[in-house]
Structure formats: C-alpha cells, structure tokens
Amino acid sequence: MNLIDYIKGLQKNDRSILSKSITLIESSLTKDKEKSVKLINHCLKQKHKSLRIGITGTPGVGKSTFIEALGQKIINDGNKVAVLAIDPSSHISNGSILGDKTRMQQLSNSTNAFIRPSPSEGHLGGVTYNTKDLITLCEAAGYNVIIIETVGVGQSEFLV
Ligand SMILES: Nc1nc2c(ncn2[C@@H]2O[C@H](COP(=O)(O)OP(=O)(O)OP(=O)(O)O)[C@@H](O)[C@H]2O)c(=O)[nH]1
Ligand SMILES: [Mg+2]
C-alpha cells in the first residue's frame, strides 16, 4: 500500500485502514519506517483533537470491565471511542487479543468503537514506544475519545 492509500483511508474513517496503519507503525522493518514517519507527520499536521483517558492498575483489577462500561456511556453520548489496550505479550504469542475483545464484547461490536490490543514487548511503564503515534492515527480516523488501557502495573509505573 502507498502512503496516499493510508492517508485517504484514514480521512474516510475506514477502520480496516486504521488497523493497517497501526500495523505499519508497529512494524520493525526498515522499509516501513520511512512510510510510517511520513504518515504520522501528515496526521499531526491536521491537529485533530481528542479527549485522552489513561486507565491503569494491577493485573486483573477490572480495567477492561470498566472500559467496557465507560466506553458504552461515551458512545451513547454521541462520541466515537478508540481503545488501545496494551498487553504483556510479544508479537510472537499474539498476546491476549481474544481476551481483551471478549472482555469488551459489547463495545467491540459497536460501529462507533475501535479496539486494538498492542504488545508491550517488555517496555516498562505500562504503555509502549508507539502509543503516542497510535493515538495520533486514531484521531486522524475520526475517534474523538481515546482510552488507553495499560498492561497490568505494579507501584512505580505512571507513564500513561
Ligand atoms: N467482583 C467483581 N469482579 C470484577 C469487577 N470488575 C471486573 N471483575 C472481574 O475480574 C476479572 C478481571 O477483569 P478485567 O476487566 O479483565 O481486568 P483487567 O484489569 O482488564 O485485567 P488485565 O488486562 O488482564 O490486567 C474478570 O473475571 C471480571 O469479570 C468488579 O467490579 N467486581
Ligand atoms: Mg484488561
């Protein structure tokens, strides 16, 4: 896919293009790096605004359950919500994609919600290197409330 395809897809609020853009940003291939920097810079120039909410806590405390309820309230108020869920896995195991989607089942079925799990890949602090860029992409795709669920944290992680 060319850069312009990503840009046009995001403008049209196309969810599958948003997914592909996130995959591009998360790619560690050198050939993708240049394209992803250009895409992010383009999106940043548009200066979309959103409300960004970070949800953090120990593993299993109820973060996803809380977001499932809060997300539906936000949608019912007429917003579009994107949930970036950081899980403790690596790319190899594919993490808890199913886990997060089943715990936010109602929300994941809504056309006004976008849920995307990302692997933390051992990055400490509860979020990943890419989280800020993923927020920028979600904003460009028309989501005006972005919720970030951190990986389960201990006592000293507060980056989110
Ligand atoms: N009793 C009770 N159980 C809850 C509550 N909130 C969540 N749970 C249960 O606790 C378990 C874990 O909830 P999750 O929402 O997946 O917790 P989480 O913090 O997202 O977990 P991780 O993402 O794995 O760190 C599930 O079985 C929920 O049904 C609550 O308020 N009360
Ligand atoms: Mg969770």
- Using a 6 Å cutoff on CB, does residue 23 contact ligand 1? no
pLDDT tens, 7-51?
Answer: 999 999 999 999 999 999 998 888 899 999 999 999 999 989 999
68 CA → ligand 2 middle, Å = 10
Task: Provide the edge-to-edge strand list for the sheet that holds 81-87.
Answer: 51-55, 145-149, 81-87, 113-119
- Confirm if 83 and 114 have CB atoms less than 8 A apart: yes
pLDDT over 70 for what percent of the chain? Answer: 91
pLDDT tens, 63-94?
Answer: 999 999 999 999 999 999 999 998 876 555 44
45 CA → ligand 2 middle, Å = 32
Q: Delineate the domains of the chain, giving CATH numbers in brackets.
A: 49-149 (3.40.50.300)
- Confirm if 115 and 104 have CB atoms less than 8 A apart: yes
Cα 146 off chain centre by: 8
pTM (2 d.p.): 0.90
